[in-house]
Structure formats: structure tokens, C-alpha cells
Amino acid sequence: MADQIRKVRVDEIREIQKMLAGHAQRGDMLPRSLSELYDNLRDIFVYLDGDKPEIIGTCSMHICWEDLAEIRSLAVREPYQGKGIGKKLVEACIAEAIALGLHRIFVLTYQAEFFQKMGFQVVDKGTLPHKIWADCLKCIKFPECDETAMIIEI
């Protein structure tokens, strides 16, 4: 069986939360609550190892406004990192954004080099719409955010 990218299922959300929590504990991203993951279930893609099948990566594309979406919570299990899985997950999010008629996607990240290779450009956080800051208010780092804001025009 080949590797596959698809939307997450309800019974996989707890596994996704544990994967994200591990990355959050290392400071790679913000943690996500079960409630938040269930609320945004339709945003979440998973990458499955066709041999197991096991979820080895995840990424979300959240619509923020009429022409703007956010890439969130990109995570790949450690043994699989550096094999192009993160790139494939982001590409799936971009493809969905294009299909929905969106024109811009942003990310707040600690991995600027990765996203730059995918065509994202660094922008001043202040240029992003105020609506996106609702999540930031819940962050332990607010208002001293140290993530890099990046955007891609599609």
C-alpha cells in the first residue's frame, strides 16, 4: 500500500494531539487542545505510512478570511523528518486553498527556511489582518511572539 495524504478522522484526533504536544514540548510549535482540534477537524490533513498504516505527519489549513488562510500545526514524527513529508502536507494544503479560491496563505513559524524553500516570503506581522490574532491571545508568548510571519500568494 502506498503512502497517502487524506483528511483526519474523528477517531485519530487524540493521536494528532499527542504528536503536536511532543513538538510543542520541544518549543517547535504551540500546543493544541482536544477541543480546538475537534472544532477544526475539517482543516486537518494526515500523512499515512502505507506499510503500517500509521499517521506519521499532520498539517492544517485554516481559512481566516475571504482570501486568506493559515498553515498550522505542521508536524512529522522524528524518524520520518527530512524525507519530504512536510512539503507534501503543505502542498496538500495549498492545493485545497487553490480549489477553494483563496489567494494568500500565511504561516507563523520557527522554520522559516523550510517555508522559504516552498515560496513563502517573510512579512511584518503587523501586515496580517487583526482577525488572526484571536489565537495569539491564548498563546503563552503573547504579546512577545518570536515566530516568523510568512506569506505566499497563490
* Look-up of cell digits 477517531: 11
pLDDT of residue 127: 81
pLDDT of residue 133: 59
- Residue 6 DSSP one-character state: E
pLDDT of residue 66: 87
pTM: 0.90
Domain count, the chain: 1
pLDDT in tens, the chain (154 residues): 567 999 999 999 999 999 999 998 887 888 889 999 999 999 999 999 877 778 999 999 999 888 899 999 999 999 999 999 999 999 999 999 999 999 999 999 989 999 999 999 999 887 877 655 566 555 555 556 678 899 999 9
pLDDT of residue 142: 58
* CATH code, domain carrying 71: 3.40.630.30
Q: Which of 92, 74, 82 is nearest to 32 (CA)?
A: 74
pLDDT of residue 58: 97
pLDDT of residue 136: 59
- Give Rg (Cα) of the chain: 15
b/e 12-45 (16+ beta carbons within 10 angstroms → b):
bbeebbebbeebbeeeebbebeeeebeebeebbb
Phi, psi (5° rounding) for residue 14? -65, -40
Q: Which residue range is the domain that position 16 belongs to?
A: 4-153
